[in-house]
Amino acid sequence: MKPSLRAAFSAAILAVALMASPAPAQAASLTMRGADVSSLQRTLDLGGKYYNASGTQADPYDILKTAGVNYARLRVWNNPASGYNNKAKVLQQARAIKAKGLKLMVDFHYSDTWADPGKQYPPAAWASYSLTQLQTAVYNYTYDVCTSLKSAGLTPDSVQIGNEINTGMLWPRGQVVNSNFAPLAALLKQGHNAAKACNSATQVIIHVADADSMSNARWFYDGIKAAGVTWDITALSYYCMWHGTLANLYNVITDVRTRYGKPVIIVETAYQFTAADADSEKNSIPGTVLCDGIPATSAGQAQQFTWVQNTARNAGAVGVFYWEPTWYAIRGNGWDPANINGTGDGWDNMAVFDWGGKVNPHIRWTA
């Protein structure tokens, strides 16, 4: 779920956005150069292959590391019908991630399926829970996943308590209604406390898809702060088709960084490398919906990603994560966990690997 698509950017707005690109003397360093690789294990299990810029088959983590990635993000769903992205699969994939020397972020959706600004469905097992019961469930589940990883020598370096929780999570109990943040805050505190009880050094992230709106970001973070929520990193999603100009992104990052005094990361971003569609599943983002006049080509994809990184760095952010760069078009790795074989991949034009599994040779994560 995303907001409605934006119109093409005007030349005037582009000119303003470009001013954010040259790195000033005091620009931050992007120490968290990330990739959300949540679909990768399914692709590998289906026999999917990955190829480096030279066309040689290689381990996908090695390919990403060569491109500059130092951090991997994994979503965790409570009891997905597909069996993928559950705790067992997160443990399996975390072993591969840590073995490559990458840092690990665990993204708790607190759902059996996708949680985003338009839907925050509780897990089926929690559907009838009161708010008090949900607080206990959030604590226990967060602690269980975290300590299971820790016991295996895979302690997460950071965890997200909820995914794109613009108006709350675990609806309706944890939804923000009439600017009442108390129910959501009660849940976030339990997630925070569980993560810290597992490992005090694990950084707690609160994530909204509000890179388009300073007022919305302030409403949310002011609200949870006033309700007593603590967190370590502020995270935003930025998809230029939905979240506006780079100039606006710069302003939002700068505002939340200074207003709350915490590091900021762009935890999701992506751009298309083609206008075509690899399968029968409609692309989530049409190739004709472009930003800043950048074409839907492999060079264009890399250019947009570089501009996002430059803008984030210049605004003082410390990290940028590409969302699902490895989710290329392979049959059986569908978007719907309840029908993973029968649905297709709506992200096949947004991954940084093409339909044959070869990496975009232009893409780079830069410090």
Active-site residue identified among 164, 210, 277, 348: 164
Query: Which two tokens mark 198?
Result: 């597992």
Query: Which two tokens mark 54?
Result: 């030279």
Please state, in angstroms and rounded to a whole number, the distance separating the CA atoms of residues 57 and 52: 6
Q: What is the DSSP letter of 338?
A: G
Compute the CA torsion angle 176, 180, 182, 184 (nearest 10 deg): 10
Please state, in angstroms and rounded to a whole number, the distance separating the CA atoms of residues 227 and 209: 20
Q: How crowded is residue 92: how many other Cβ atoms within 10 Å of its Cβ?
A: 13
C-alpha neighbours within 13 Å on the C-beta side of residue 132 = 0
Single out the residue of 143, 182, 315 nearest to residue 236, CA to CA. 315
Query: Which two tokens mark 346?
Result: 């709506």
* Catalytic status, residue 324: no
Compute the CA torsion angle 321, 366, 330, 284 (nearest 10 deg): 50
The dihedrals phi and psi of 148, each to the nearest 5 degrees, come to -65, -40
Q: How crowded is residue 141: how many other Cβ atoms within 10 Å of its Cβ?
A: 21
Active-site residue identified among 268, 281, 292, 324: 268
* Catalytic status, residue 281: no
Cα radius of gyration (the chain): 19
Residues serving a catalytic function are 164, 268
